Structure formats: C-alpha cells, structure tokens
C-alpha cells in the first residue's frame, strides 16, 4: 500500500514533532517518506531552545532531487519559517509537482509557545501556499491568525473553515483541541459541506507533535489514493491510539507512540 510522501518541514531534535514525527507517521501508515529539511531546532518536551534555518536555495535543491528521482504521490509542508522559504517551496512545487495533493500544516507556534513563523511569512503563507493546499490543517490559534478573527467556539470554527476555503484552500480541517471541555471536535470543510468529528478528550501530557503527525498521516492516505474523508478518519484514529499508548518521555509535553498501527481497524 506504499505511497510516496515528500515532507518539507523542520527537524525536532527531541523526536516528537517535525520531520522526525512525519517520517514515523508515514512509515506507520505503510507509506514511504522523503524529506526536505527547512530548519534545525534544538527542542525537547519543554520547548524550543534554538533554531538554525536552512537556506532557501538548499531547501529547493532537496525538493528538486527527490522529485526528479523518487517522485511523490503527495506533499506535506510543516515549518516554513520565512517568506523567502515559502516562496522557494511554492516555486519548486509549481515547477515539479503541479497537481500533486498537498497537505499544508501551517506551523506557526510550537507547543511550548515559541514562535516558529516570522511575521513576514504569515502573509506569504496565506496568499501563496494556502491556495495550493488540497487540505489545510490549522489548530485554533493558527485558524485565528489566518482567518483574521477569534476562533473560540465551534461556530467560529465553521466560519474560519469557510473563510480559509474562500482564500483558496480546497479543504480545511480545523482542529478543536484548544477548546474547553471533555469532548474534542474537529471540523472538515470540503466540497461545500462540513463533516464533524467528535470524541472524548484523552487526558494526557503526551501531545507534542500531534499536528505534524496528523497532517503526515493524512498526506499518506492521499498518497495511497484514499479519499480525503477516509484519509482524515484513518489519521485521527492513528493519532488517538498514538496518544493513548504514548511512552511518557520527558518532563513537559511528551511525544506520541508513533509505532502504533491502525492499518486494518480504522473504519
């Protein structure tokens, strides 16, 4: 069931998020992960302690050689920290991967609060990358920043999804993990309709990298020719199991158990 996924994102030295989480998630979904690394981070479960950007030219080179040789059935973006990086990625995708399904995880703020997207990059992401997205996967703070209004209740999530789709994203999955309450709600806006996913909140500190993991699992589904809806359903089932069986590492927001599999029992 292999599907080739090219991930363009930053590295997490703690192994819970970023490229490390992406590779693990794609592999657990029985896909093949290739990467173009945009930045190195010194990171653990307590936060981000330093960032070393990769030059846009070298990011472009990574994308070019992977696509020219291995190819990709789906693309996934994570941490793209500057407008120059976003411009380079957009240009490379247009040149070599036009029409390939693209999952855009608009990584803006790390779990510990560290800003991962420079101010000038927000507009570039909204105006240039978002319109290329097969599906955009913002959490509530990211949806607020991109939509331009507060997203605090479920009705706001609907408005934000519709707004972001109007800006060009073909589909939008607004993740409701930041809402209060014992029930967790995610909303998928696609084809002019809303699909609502609800389940019990899992009480756990092991939630570092959930956004990266979910987006990469969705991208793998698209690479394997699953529908968007089925890709989201399977990815959500995977992330829930990965949180439930998390190893409990670290003193802060710990990593998931990326090795869990849902290949046969996710429907």
Q: Tokens in use for 245?
A: 């069986």
Average pLDDT of span 236-251: 94
**Which residue is catalytic, options 24, 76, 175, 241?**
175
What count of Cα atoms within 13 Å lies in the side-chain half-sphere of residue 199?
12
Domain assignment present for 195: no
Among candidate residues 211, 213, 221, 254, the one labeled active-site is: 211
Q: Does residue 250 have an active-site annotation? A: no
Instruction: State the Cα–Cα distance between residues 155 and 151, nearest whole angstrom.
Output: 8
Has 209 been annotated as catalytic? yes
Out of 38, 60, 100, 210, pick the active-site residue.
210
What pLDDT band is residue 119 in, cutting at 50, 70 and 90? confident
Q: Is residue 141, in this structure, part of any structural domain at all?
A: no
Give Cβ neighbours of residue 154 (< 8 Å, ≥ 6 apart): 176, 179, 185, 187
Q: Which of 14, 60, 137, 212 is catalytic?
A: 212
Q: Look at residue 220 and give its three-state secondary structure.
A: helix
| Nearest by Cα to 12 from 186, 211, 190 | 211
**pLDDT band at residue 107 under the 50/70/90 scheme:** confident
Domain contains 22: yes
Here the CATH number for the domain that contains residue 97 is 3.40.1190.20
Catalytic residue flag (residue 241): no
pLDDT at 109 over 70: no
pTM for this structure? 0.95
Report CA 246 to chain centroid distance, whole Å: 19
Q: Does residue 153 sit within a domain?
A: no
Would you say residue 188 lies in a domain? no
pLDDT of residue 65: 98
Residue 55 bears catalytic tag: no
Rg (CA), the chain: 17
Give the number of residues written for the chain. Answer: 267
| Domain tally, the chain | 1
Domain hosting residue 227, numbered range: 4-136+208-244
Would you call 11 exposed, middle or buried from its count of C-beta atoms within 10 A (0-12, 13-18, 19+)?
buried
Structural domain includes residue 147:
no
Q: Is 212 assigned a catalytic role? A: yes
Say if 120 falls within a structural domain. Answer: yes
124 domain-assigned: yes
């Amino acid at each position: 069931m292999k599907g080739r996924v090219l991930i363009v994102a930053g590295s997490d030295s703690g192994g819970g998020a970023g490229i490390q989480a992406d590779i693990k998630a794609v592999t657990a979904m029985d896909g093949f992960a290739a990467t173009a690394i945009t930045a190195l981070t010194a990171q653990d479960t307590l936060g981000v302690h330093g960032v070393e950007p990769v030059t846009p030219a070298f990011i472009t080179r990574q994308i070019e050689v992977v696509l020219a040789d291995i190819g990709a059935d789906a693309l996934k973006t994570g941490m793209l920290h500057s407008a120059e990086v976003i411009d380079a990625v957009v240009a490379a995708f247009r040149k070599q991967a036009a029409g390939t399904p693209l999952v855009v995880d608009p990584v803006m703020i790390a779990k510990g609060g560290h800003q991962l997207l420079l101010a000038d990059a927000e507009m570039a992401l909204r105006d240039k990358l978002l319109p290329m997205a097969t599906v955009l996967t913002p959490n509530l703070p990211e949806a607020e920043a991109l939509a331009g209004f507060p997203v605090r209740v479920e009705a706001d999530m609907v408005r934000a999804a519709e707004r972001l789709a109007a800006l060009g994203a073909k589909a939008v999955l607004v993740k409701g993990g930041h809402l209060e309450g014992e029930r967790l709600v995610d909303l998928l806006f696609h084809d002019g309709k809303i699909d609502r996913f609800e389940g019990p909140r899992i009480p756990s500190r092991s939630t570092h990298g959930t956004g990266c993991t979910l987006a990469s699992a969705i991208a793998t589904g698209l690479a394997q020719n699953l529908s968007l809806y089925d890709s989201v359903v399977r990815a959500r089932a995977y992330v829930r199991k990965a949180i439930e069986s998390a190893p409990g590492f670290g003193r802060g927001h710990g990593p998931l158990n990326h090795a869990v599999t849902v290949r046969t029992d996710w429907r």
